[in-house]
Structure formats: C-alpha cells, structure tokens
Amino acid sequence: MADKVTIADVARVAGVSRQTVSNALNTPEVVRPETRQRVLEVVEELGYRVNFAARQMRTGRSKLIAIRIDPAGDGVNGSVFDRFLHGLTESAAGAGYRLLLYTAADDQKEIAAFQDLLGAYEPDGFVLTSTHHKDARTSWLLERGLPFVTFGRPWSEPADVHPWVDVDGSAGTEAATEHLLAAGHRRIAFIGWPSGSGVGDDRREGWRRALAGAGLDPAGLSRETPDGIADGEAAARDLLTADPDITALVCASDSLALGALHVARSPNPAWHAEAYRRIAVTGFDDTPVAKAIGLTSVHQPLTDAAARCMDLLGRALDGTPPGNLLLPPSLVVRQSA
C-alpha cells in the first residue's frame, strides 16, 4: 500500500511551508512561479494527493454529489435513467465531483435520506430525477437553501424556482405525430398515462398540438392507461376496435408502444375488419428495446442533459445565479412508422 503522503511531506521535501504547498495547489496565482513549479514537481514525485476528508473539515465541501438510484421498473424505461447516470458520472468527474448513490422508496423517505446524507457525508449538492406535481423534495431543499438541480422541470411551480434541465416531451410527440401526418396518416391516436402526471400530460399535449396544426380533431382518439406492455396492448386493441379508421398510434413510452406494436403486427387480429390495415406505431425514449425491434421512437439527449445538469449544479455551488434548460428531443425513425 502506498504510504500516505501528506502536505507536510511535500513541504519538507520542497523546502517550503505546508501553507505554501496548499497555496501552490489551490491558489496558484499567489505563489511565485518558480516556487510553484518546485512544489508541483515534488507533488508529482511523491504522488501526493489531497485528502478530501481533511479538506472537507476545513472547507465544508465534500466534492460529493448525491443521486438516487431506483429499481429498474419494468426494465424497459430504466435504461433512460441509466444513460443519464452514466453521463452524469463523467460530467461530474470533469468538474471534480463524484457521485454518491442512495435509494429511497418515496418522497418522504428521500427527504429522510437527505438528512442522513447531509449529516454524514455532507454532499455538496443533489441531482433529483422524476420531478412531479407538488414535489416535496424540492420544497424541502429549497427551504434549506441546499444546492440542487433537477432533471425534469418543476411541474407545479414557476420555472425559475430552482435550476433544472428537461427534455421537451411535447416537442417529441409533436414531431412523431407530424412524421405520421407527413406519411399520409390522418387518424392518429394517442396512448398515454392518466392525466395528472406532468410528463404524461406534456407528451399528450404534443400530439394534440400536431393534430390541431393539421386541422384534425383529437376527440375519441386518446386512451389513458398505466405504463406497461400489457397496458399498451389493451389500449391499442381498444382504440383499433372502436375506430376502424385509425392507422397510427403515438405512444407516451416504449413500453406502451411495444404492446401496441404487438397488436399492430398481429397478422389477423380481432379488430381487423375487411381490408388489412397497416398500423404505424411510435414510442418514446428510444430504449434499447426500440432499437432492437425497429420501433420508431423519440430520443432524449441524455448525455447532454447530464452535462447541463452538472453545469447548472456547478453554478448553484458557486453561488452564480443558475437557470434552466429545455432540450429538444429527436425522432428516430425505424420500420414501425
């Protein structure tokens, strides 16, 4: 094991005081260039590295950012968070931070986790995901003036209450719907989640907007269901049975789309009247599943989103007024539509 090299060792070898070493590393401009050079050489030579625990005791900064990791859910959508997490790990490292993981079952448990973490590891900031209406977590952090960013906009509050990065979901479903319109589809239905969820309502809105733009009426063309493959299948069957003119299904997630696609690709389903209808389907999130089965899907720029989250959190940590950012998604067109 490499023996622990302290700032005192460097100081002794370099023939300067401990403080000069600290300055050479943290406030270079205050040290004479040649002294600084000498110190850095010794640092290199001895393989010195600052001890964060000791630094933390003085400065109160841990260089740690905490983020919650969740169970994989149905496994289809988990990959979105995972890609975000990977991107964030790299962005954070670039800014001199490391990610600290925790789990929590709900908002209240997560707030309890905040307290545990703040008391123990003292993370400098938090990155929250899955924001929702009346998010208790953000209010809690806000009340205490703790630095954080959310990946996901605030759904019940003004846009500037806290820094956030999000991907424009309605622009995504709008693009998907417009793609279908351009392909000649005229009766395009939407399968989404029960209204009340910010993300879900936003995605529905994009579809509605695109239809309105083409002078089409959305009435009767929308279904609300929990997220899941079987749910998507049921909703698709229901829609296609109820309305024989539907030729395309825009879905709020790849899970739903996967179920819908199953119906759409059935050779001779119950809802099939006389003529064969080729049903186009689009999903959301561009998960590996979409890629695997040729599902057209809305892609979120997750690596970029993670980088911008880190930017904004960095500003919050510096006290610089942060902001927020709505990133555009992109449509990945595959065989399904």
Partner DNA sequence: ATGAAAGCGCTAACAA
Partner DNA sequence: TTGTTAGCGCTTTCAT
The burial class, CB within 10 Å (0-12 / 13-18 / 19+), for 60 is exposed
Cα(19)–Cα(269) distance, integer angstroms:
78
Residues 310 and 324 sit within 8 Å (Cβ to Cβ) = no
Report if residue 119 touches its own copies, rule: CB under 8 A: yes
Q: Residues with Cβ < 8 Å from 17, sequence gap 6 or more? A: 11
C-alpha pair distances (Å), 224 with each of 169, 200, 202, 252, 316: 17, 10, 13, 10, 38
Decide which of DNA, its own copies, none touches 105; Cβ closer than 5 to 8 Å per partner kind: none
Residues 151 and 309 sit within 8 Å (Cβ to Cβ) = yes
Decide which of its own copies, DNA, none touches 78; Cβ closer than 5 to 8 Å per partner kind: its own copies
The contact mask relative to its own copies for 125-154 (x = CB under 8 A, - = no) is: -------------------xxx--------
Q: How far is the CB of 29 from DNA (least distance, A)?
A: 8
Q: Which helix (H) or strand (E) holds 286?
A: none
Taking the least distance from each CB to DNA, the nearer of 18 and 334 is 18
Chain residues 40-59 in contact with its own copies, contact rule CB under 8 A: 47-54, 56-57
Percentages helix, strand, coil for the chain, rounded to the nearest 5? 45, 15, 40
Report if residue 296 touches its own copies, rule: CB under 8 A: no
Cα(281)–Cα(325) distance, integer angstroms:
29
Decide which of DNA, its own copies, none touches 91; Cβ closer than 5 to 8 Å per partner kind: none
Taking the least distance from each CB to its own copies, the nearer of 135 and 254 is 254
Chain residues 165-204 in contact with its own copies, contact rule CB under 8 A: none
Cα(227)–Cα(224) distance, integer angstroms:
9
Residues 257 and 313 sit within 8 Å (Cβ to Cβ) = no
Decide which of DNA, its own copies, none touches 22; Cβ closer than 5 to 8 Å per partner kind: DNA
Taking the least distance from each CB to its own copies, the nearer of 4 and 158 is 4
The contact mask relative to its own copies for 60-99 (x = CB under 8 A, - = no) is: --xxx----xxxx-xxx-xx--xx-xx--xx--x----xx
Decide which of DNA, its own copies, none touches 6; Cβ closer than 5 to 8 Å per partner kind: DNA
Residues 182 and 337 sit within 8 Å (Cβ to Cβ) = no
Q: Among the residues of the chain, which ranges form H helices?
A: 7-14, 18-26, 33-46, 52-59, 78-94, 107-120, 136-143, 169-182, 198-213, 229-242, 254-264, 288-293, 302-318
Decide which of its own copies, DNA, none touches 30; Cβ closer than 5 to 8 Å per partner kind: DNA
Q: How far is the CB of 7 from DNA (least distance, A)?
A: 3
Report if residue 109 touches its own copies, rule: CB under 8 A: no
Q: How far is the CB of 3 from DNA (least distance, A)?
A: 9
Decide which of DNA, its own copies, none touches 79; Cβ closer than 5 to 8 Å per partner kind: its own copies
Cα(323)–Cα(260) distance, integer angstroms:
38
Taking the least distance from each CB to its own copies, the nearer of 210 and 302 is 302
- Positions touching its own copies (CB under 8 A) are 1-2, 47-54, 56-57, 62-64, 69-72, 74-76, 78-79, 82-83, 85-86, 89-90, 93, 98-103, 115-122, 144-146, 229, 258, 287-289, 291-293
